[in-house]
Amino acid sequence: MCGIVGYAGGRPAVPILLRALKDLEYRGYDSAGIAVLDGDRLAITKKQGKIANLEAALGPAPAGTVGIGHTRWATHGRPSDRNAHPHSSCDGRVVVIHNGIVENYAALRDELQARGHTFHSETDTETVAHLLEAEMAAGADLFEALARTARRLEGSQALVAMSLDEPGTLVAARLGNAGGIVIGFGDGETVVASDLAAVLPLTQEVAFLADGQVARVTPAGAEAKTVTGEPVALQRKRIPIDPVTALKGQYPHFMLKEIHEQPEAIADTIWSLATLDPPALYFDDLGPAADRLADIERVVLIGMGTSLHAAMVGQRYIEAFAGIPADADNASEFRYRDPVLDDRTLVISVSQSGETVDVLEAMAVARQAGALQVTVCNTAGAQTTRVADGTVYTRAGLERGVASTKCFTTAVVALYLLALRIAQAKGRLSDRELALHLHDLAQLPRAVSEVLRQRDLVRKRAVSLAAAQHVLFLGRGLAFPVAMEGALKLKEVSYIHAEGYAAGEMKHGPIALIEPSFPTVAIATRHALRTKMISNIEQIQARGGPVTGVVTEGDAELTALCDAVLTVPAVSSWLEPVAAVIPLQLLAYDVAVHRGCDVDQPRNLAKTVTVE
Ligand code: AGP
Pocket-testing residue among 379, 404, 415, 493, ligand 1, by greatest number of atoms within 8 A of Cβ? 404
Cα of 227 to ligand 1 centre, how many Å? 30
What pLDDT does residue 163 have?
A: 97
Q: List CB contacts of 79: < 8 A, sequence separation 6 or more.
A: 30, 31, 48, 72
Look up residue 301 and give its DSSP letter. Answer: E
The answer to whether 184 and 30 are in contact (CB under 8 A) is no
For ligand 1, which residues put their CB under 6 angstroms from it?
A: 304-307, 351-353, 356, 359, 402-404, 492, 608-609
Position 240: which residue type? Answer: P
Per the DSSP assignment, residues forming a β-bridge with 45 are: 34
What pLDDT does residue 470 have?
A: 95
Q: List CB contacts of 551: < 8 A, sequence separation 6 or more.
A: 524, 525, 558, 559, 562, 565, 566, 567, 568
The answer to whether 563 and 535 are in contact (CB under 8 A) is no
The answer to whether 495 and 603 are in contact (CB under 8 A) is yes
Q: Of the listed 22, 257, 491, 607, which one is catalytic?
A: 607
If 0-12 CB within 10 Å is exposed, 13-18 middle and 19+ buried, where does residue 569 land? middle
Q: How far out from the chain centre does Cα 416 lie?
A: 20
The answer to whether residue 2 is catalytic is yes
Cα of 404 to ligand 1 centre, how many Å? 6
Q: Considering only CA atoms, which of 379, 72, 452 is closest in space to residue 206? A: 379
First to last CA, the chain: 11
If 0-12 CB within 10 Å is exposed, 13-18 middle and 19+ buried, where does residue 52 land? exposed
Pocket-testing residue among 301, 307, 405, 494, ligand 1, by greatest number of atoms within 8 A of Cβ? 307
Which residues of the chain, if any, have pLDDT below 70? 1, 241-250
What pLDDT does residue 59 have?
A: 81
Cα of 305 to ligand 1 centre, how many Å? 5
The answer to whether 269 and 410 are in contact (CB under 8 A) is yes
What pLDDT does residue 245 have?
A: 58
The answer to whether residue 562 is catalytic is no
What string of DSSP letters covers 54-66? HHHHH-S----SE
